[in-house]
Chain A
Amino acid sequence: MPEGLAVLKWDNELGPVVTTKTPKKLMKGLDPTTAMRVYGIATMGETEESQRPGFTSLVLDEFKLAVYYGGLNNHLKGHPSMVFLVLGQEEDPDVYKDALPEIATQVFLHAEDEEYIGMLPGLYKQIVRYTQMTPEQRQVSILNDPIRRGILRILMRNGTVESSILEQTIFEEVGREIDADIVLRPLVKAGIIATGWVEGLSSEVIYLTRALFLLRNVSINTVRAVKSGEIPGEVAGPFLDETKDFHRNYSADLRADLHKTIWREAEELSQYLLDVDSYEILQILREGPRVTSELPSMLDLPEAKVKKKIKELEKADITVRLKDDAGNEHVLLKSNPKVATVYPEWLIQSTVESYTEEDIPSRQAIHYLEVLKHSHPSMASTLDVGESD
């Protein structure tokens, strides 16, 4: 368990300054000498890479530090630019190499009006939870963030965009000024985007290499259980009818307006996948249907809480509850939310068209086609969440 979290900024006259920390009594790692050295380690070098946001860890005599640097841009502007996670000697900083960038990015995105100061205790609590997230949840957390969702929406439409234009578009669409480098680094690390410089363009160019979205699948395990007679017939029939109707309508929505549907779904479904209790229920139901009364003991949760969560999932068309003739309530997956990372094949043709129509600079289009060529897999990949479809 970490010992604390601190945010630092660089003050030209004072050097590293702690702007906020939690718990308030946290002292370790925050002395001027250590803080100065961490700034040194994080920023050393004249290469472009050394001046970008990045994760570093340090082992000191009595403690360890996991550090996320917000980049030279934030550093020199005197904005919050370093987030320290103070760890005990026995901890492995690398455990936090995915969690800390997430938390730190939230700090940097909420630097205006020092909003992050009030958020820090909550973010600190999230760190431990984040380390316990499944790979699926980590990808969902990208879709749960309105800014990164906005970025993906733009990139899944256009494929490539200049970072300065992206910053402007996000400001117009989400109403928040962002430093693209800070927001995009975790996406680069996740293999979802690539960045590069194109001769003649004044800012870095962003390329989508993998599309990321949330889809609702039919739960094969549930349908198999229903069809094999594991579920009473008075439950099976209505379930199949309701599920069929739902997926027919869902498919129609996707056909009618694919983009609108997937982004609405991303916003809605991501909250259930990131909620600890809802996610545990979902994981159980992905294995197959259950009688509602079994769940509290399986989840080690009070019955009332389980019922509340199931109702929420039902409202989101993820589960359905049906009673058999003996009065037992069965809970089944109506739709199985699933993260999909897909090679954006449709962007090859649209990039060629953009090149022909001169909608984007020709060098940018050619560079993107090269990026797409290098990142091309033989087929689209989806995340393994423990159930085959």
Chain B
Amino acid sequence: MIREIHVFKDNQILFKDVVVPNNELDSDGVMTLVSTSAKKLQEWTIDSMEIERFRYVYMNSNDTQFILTMDRQSSLQKVEEALMRTVSKFMTAFERDILSDKWMSTDFSPYGVAFRDIVTRIPVKVCLAGHGGTGKTTLLELATMPDQAPPSEYVPTFFADKAFLEGDFAPYVCSIFDLGGQDRFVQEWNKIIRAGSVVVILSDSTEENIEWTKRVAFPALKSDLPYARAIAIANKQDLPDALTPEEVGMMLDVPAYGMQANNPDFRDRWLEILKDLVFETIEFRIVGEIAGVQDYDRLW
């Protein structure tokens, strides 16, 4: 997932577009650092650097520095290809200006459309993780197959399922992976979840399930997606003994949001939560920072 673009020349920003802002780092300071490094690169050479959960992929062309900010765990190869396209499109439109002094007065803002088109090409990978029977497939279908009635019986997902979601997420589209939740499939997650930006942890809002999630799911997720952002869905809130979302969130050490995935009325809420998670406008947790099993006693 590409988050931002910055284009520098002579230490000035020619163009920038921030789709999802980085609120955790001193963005100006980071950009100064990265653009300084980019200046030293040979023409059309790509390099990258990682800071916390972000990766900065950069290139120097005609003494102009192009920097894409991406989620650290997204596919580097795809973002590098996107950067090549970005620079190519930019130069096609503005090369004359860049090579003369006109760039100082050029309006580069029309380039935003082309950039957002490039951003759209790399789907945001969303992983629905949780034990079997917590409602991952129902939640996937609630988002991607709104005309279909919720499944009436539980059929365990074999390995994984996947569907696209083109909702109100522009410029992003989501590629949602529903991970098989049977114990035998959890050991396969590492083959599926690479490059995940977002993890949605499904719980059926029972203590037993929360214990399983901490013991089985978290180690797998932490091992392969330590920089992904995560929320929990406290599903099956319609059941009489369901823990509240607050309780689920506290027990998992991940912000939790209540849900009834088998109720079509919850579709808008689910899409809103997903959108807010992608754009980082709700509370979430970085997977690698979720308390480990040994830390939970301390939390309580």
Contacts from A to B (Cβ < 8 Å):
12-15, 32-33, 36-37, 39-41, 43-44, 46, 72, 75-76, 78
Interface residue stretch chosen among B3-11, B155-163, B203-211, B246-254 = B155-163
Q: Which residues of B contact A72 (CB under 8 A)?
A: 191
Nearest chain-A residue to B75 (Cβ)? Answer: A12
> Which one, A12, A13, A40, A76, contacts B188 given CB within 8 A?
A40
Q: Which residues of B contact A75 (CB under 8 A)?
A: 191
Most interface-central of A12, A15, A37, A76 (chain B CB within 10 A): A12
The minimal Cβ–Cβ distance linking B194 to chain A, given in whole angstroms, is 5
Q: Is the CB of A76 within 8 A of B191?
A: yes
Whether B234 sits at the interface, judged by CB under 8 Å, is: no
With contacts A37-B159, A39-B159, A40-B158 taken as known, whether A14 is within 8 angstroms of B175 at the C-beta atoms is yes
The minimal Cβ–Cβ distance linking B198 to chain A, given in whole angstroms, is 12
The minimal Cβ–Cβ distance linking B205 to chain A, given in whole angstroms, is 28
Q: Is the CB of B194 within 8 A of A12?
A: yes
11 A-B contact pairs sorted by A residue (CB < 8 Å) = A12-B195, A13-B122, A13-B123, A15-B177, A32-B161, A32-B162, A36-B162, A37-B158, A41-B159, A75-B191, A78-B77
Contacts from B to A (Cβ < 8 Å):
74-75, 77-78, 122-123, 125, 158-163, 175, 177, 180, 184-185, 187-188, 191-192, 194-195
Please report whether the interface of chain B is mostly helix, strand, loop or mixed according to DSSP: mixed
Q: Is the CB of A36 within 8 A of B160?
A: yes
Q: Is the CB of B162 within 8 A of A44?
A: no
Q: Is the CB of B180 within 8 A of A12?
A: no
Q: Is the CB of A13 within 8 A of B159?
A: no
With contacts A76-B191, A76-B194 taken as known, whether A14 is within 8 angstroms of B160 at the C-beta atoms is no
Q: Is the CB of B187 within 8 A of A36?
A: no
Q: Which residues of B contact A44 (CB under 8 A)?
A: 159, 184, 188
Rounded to whole angstroms, the CA-CA distance of A75 and B190 in the bound complex is 12
Nearest chain-B residue to A35 (Cβ)? Answer: B162
> Which one, A14, A33, A46, A76, contacts B161 given CB within 8 A?
A33
Q: Which residues of A contact B187 (CB under 8 A)?
A: 46
Q: Which residues of A contact B162 (CB under 8 A)?
A: 14-15, 32, 36
Q: Which residues of A contact B184 (CB under 8 A)?
A: 44
8 additional contacts, CB 8 Å, given A14-B175, A32-B162?
A: A13-B74, A14-B162, A15-B162, A15-B175, A15-B192, A32-B163, A40-B160, A76-B194
Rounded to whole angstroms, the CA-CA distance of A34 and B162 in the bound complex is 11
Nearest chain-A residue to B185 (Cβ)? Answer: A40
The minimal Cβ–Cβ distance linking A48 to chain B, given in whole angstroms, is 14
Q: Is the CB of A13 within 8 A of B161?
A: no
Q: Which residues of B contact A46 (CB under 8 A)?
A: 187
Q: Which residues of A contact B191 (CB under 8 A)?
A: 39, 43, 72, 75-76
Rounded to whole angstroms, the CA-CA distance of A44 and B186 in the bound complex is 11
Rounded to whole angstroms, the CA-CA distance of A46 and B159 in the bound complex is 14
Most interface-central of A36, A44, A76 (chain B CB within 10 A): A36
Q: Which residues of B contact A37 (CB under 8 A)?
A: 158-159
Rounded to whole angstroms, the CA-CA distance of A44 and B158 in the bound complex is 10
> Which one, A13, A36, A43, contacts B175 given CB within 8 A?
A13
Rounded to whole angstroms, the CA-CA distance of A43 and B162 in the bound complex is 17
The minimal Cβ–Cβ distance linking A162 to chain B, given in whole angstroms, is 27
Q: Is the CB of A40 within 8 A of B159?
A: yes
Q: Which residues of A contact B159 (CB under 8 A)?
A: 36-37, 39-41, 44
Rounded to whole angstroms, the CA-CA distance of A78 and B76 in the bound complex is 12
Nearest chain-A residue to B175 (Cβ)? Answer: A13
Rounded to whole angstroms, the CA-CA distance of A76 and B187 in the bound complex is 15
Rounded to whole angstroms, the CA-CA distance of A294 and B77 in the bound complex is 63
Most interface-central of B123, B158, B177, B191 (chain A CB within 10 A): B191
